[in-house]
Structure 1
Amino acid sequence: MTALVIADHAGGTLAAATLNTVTAAIAVDSDVHVLVAGAAATGAAEAAAKIAGVAKVLHADDAAYDHLLAEPTAALIVGLAGDYDALLAPATTNGKNIMPRVAALLDVAQISDITAVVSADTFIRPIYAGNAMATVQSGDAKKIITVRGTTFAAAAAEGGSASVEKVGAADNPGLSEFVGEELSKSERPELTAAKIVISGGRGMGSGENFVLLEKVADKLGAAVGASRAAVDAGFVPNDYQVGQTGKVVAPELYIAVGISGAIQHLAGMKDSKVIVAINKDEEAPIFQVADYGLVADLFKAIPELEEALS
């Protein structure tokens, strides 16, 4: 058996979740290849070749894969699938977009968001917003898998010496085209890679009040996140959202401010090493998962925390 990892990358740099996915792939099969599809992604391909445990890197360099649109990328993967028993991708935005189409084209089931590998055909994944864990066994000849990166250790980024093999582009079905993108730029760490995350909820009251969290984040070197309620209320952009329908994080320290602790939010952060909750409602569900809880008015507690960090 051989497993193929679909690399997630941007700007010639591999996404950190690719390293976690390689670890999952090695647990499925010791022979692991990585596909780097993109335009001007030579840097990402070279980085993939250095990952410990990777035997070969397939590099598809074509403008059709510049933004990893699902339709052309899935067509490429399906064309390569014949040589592989398992196809794995990080459960990132790209992975969630591409892999269901791959599964549909191959007429097999997808096993989503796995958190553990039991054997080559059996996996563990969360259900009911993480309140239960299902052990799933697949009888399909090819396993299509997305991987929750926060539950697998990252493979060593250095130490490998895989060969890099050029592969041609597949026929582009022409069903989609890239129009544009609006990216949030910040000097703070990326949310899913940050060691410390401070998130705000509906209790923040407005988007302007998130500056309180930003001041603390700047002093801690932390990323700023938000609950779905805060995003839906228009306080902050969608890419701040932590939760089942947002980003899944597992930092060393997670500070939840004004967040009640809805199930869908807990599903995105409960694997954090240490959880601190600040909420004026002592009955808030967030306190049930918090390692440390402070029942207080956030508009008093956060400025005091920021001053203490000075």
Structure 2
Amino acid sequence: MSTVYVLVEHDDATITDVTKELITAARPLGEVTAVVIAAPGIAGTLAPQLAEAGAEAVIAAEAADLADRLILPQVDALSMLAAATPGPIVVAAGPTGNEIAGRLAARLASGVLCDVVGINADRTASQSVFGDSIQISAAVGGASPIYSVRPGAIEAAPVAAAGALTAFPLPGATTKDVTVTGFAPAIRGNRPELTQAKVVIAGGRGLGSAEGFALAEQLADALGGAVGATRDAVDLEYYDGVYQIGQTGQTVSPDLYIGLGVSGAIQHTSGMQTARKIIVVNNDEDAPIFQIADLGVVGDVFEVVPALINEINAQR
């Protein structure tokens, strides 16, 4: 059976939900080999989790100086593995994952498909294009085709596997490497990552101000979700741009999306309409967002949402 490589996303102690999704997505292509790029000792900690998720093999590509390097360690490890034993490569879509995918395609002379929402055994992949309005099936060539998979688009279905751990000598830094001279980690709150959240509360221009987004945060906390924003809200400085959802922001595919004061411009809906359930609250009954909503509430968000939060808390 052929080998398919999956680049592991992790936080040193645990693998992320998107890694479980990648392993599930990659399984139709062959036996999954999970590739861990980390500091020494981390791969051994992650190996049982990866085996439980479905990895037949785990490659420990470790080096002590990884904190000072960007992109190239992942590209080096995956390209060397695929050059020795060709096979498809699956990474998480996003700025970093897509750059890795592009560099791998150049090194391995293979095709690349980005932001796919499904992978088939014949090496074709499903993509949702033109603002998620059209679903297509795309083919890719080469001995080691590369796929970047949209986080949240595929439901993880763990199937326990061997997870045999093997060390892999990672090349050292060269003059081509970027040198990190300073690093300030993002301060994480208690909410889940936007692209991996099962519940997303999105605020739009209708929230009226940065203070209005406190309402979105309260609802997100009540439901254990993440907060996102439309481009208009970000442009008006209601919310930080890293939480923007849409064509020029992040793409989310949660189980539940709730839009508050969101009009439904294609710029935003292209990044969220693959959500499994869409609920919106807007005082404009003609807002385009109602056309894709499973449930729409015409009303004032500052009346509807507090009542909803009170009801949620009352049910606990």
How does the TM-score come out when normalised to structure 2? 0.88
Alpha-carbon distance, 1:180 to partner:
1.6
Name the SS of the counterpart of 2:271 in structure 1: coil
**Letter aligned with residue 72 of structure 1:** P
Gaps of 5+ in 1: none
Q: Could you give the per-residue CA deviations for residues 142-196 of structure 1, whole angstroms, max 9, x where no partner exists?
A: 201111242322132x733311111111243443123323413211233233332
Aligned residue-pair number: 308
Q: How does 1:96-175 map to 2 (within 5 A)?
A: 96-156=98-158, 159-173=160-174, 174-175=176-177
Q: Could you give the per-residue CA deviations for residues 17-48 of structure 1, whole angstroms, max 9, x where no partner exists?
A: 1111111111122x111100011523653245
> Within the alignment, does 1:278 sit opposite 2:249 as a pair?
no
Determine the structure 2 residue equivalent to 1:308.
311
- Give yes or no for contact 2:281–2:297 (8 Å, CA) kept in 1: yes
Determine the structure 1 residue equivalent to 2:80.
79
Determine the structure 2 residue equivalent to 1:200.
203
Determine the structure 1 residue equivalent to 2:63.
62
Larger mean Cα displacement after TM superposition, 265-274 or 253-262? 265-274
Determine the structure 2 residue equivalent to 1:94.
96
* 1:126/1:69 CA distance change after superposition, 3 Å: same
Determine the structure 2 residue equivalent to 1:243.
246
Alpha-carbon distance, 1:67 to partner:
7.2
Determine the structure 2 residue equivalent to 1:213.
216
- Give yes or no for contact 1:36–1:44 (8 Å, CA) kept in 2: no
- Give yes or no for contact 2:88–2:145 (8 Å, CA) kept in 1: yes
Determine the structure 1 residue equivalent to 2:4.
3
- Give yes or no for contact 2:151–2:253 (8 Å, CA) kept in 1: no
**Letter aligned with residue 193 of structure 1:** Q
Determine the structure 1 residue equivalent to 2:38.
38
- Give yes or no for contact 1:4–1:84 (8 Å, CA) kept in 2: no
Mapped to 2, the partners of 1:307 and 1:52 lie a distance apart of 38
**Letter aligned with residue 193 of structure 2:** E
Mapped to 1, the partners of 2:164 and 2:240 lie a distance apart of 41
Alpha-carbon distance, 1:290 to partner:
0.5
Q: Could you give the per-residue CA deviations for residues 55-103 of structure 1, whole angstroms, max 9, x where no partner exists?
A: 1100111134337721232122212221132011121443223222221
How does the TM-score come out when normalised to structure 1? 0.90
**Letter aligned with residue 279 of structure 1:** N
* 1:176/1:68 CA distance change after superposition, 3 Å: closer
Gaps of 5+ in 2: none
* 1:232/1:176 CA distance change after superposition, 3 Å: farther
Over the matched positions of the two proteins, sequence identity in percent amounts to: 34
Mapped to 2, the partners of 1:93 and 1:155 lie a distance apart of 25
* 1:220/1:49 CA distance change after superposition, 3 Å: closer
Name the SS of the counterpart of 1:208 in structure 2: coil
Mapped to 1, the partners of 2:206 and 2:6 lie a distance apart of 41
Mapped to 1, the partners of 2:289 and 2:51 lie a distance apart of 41
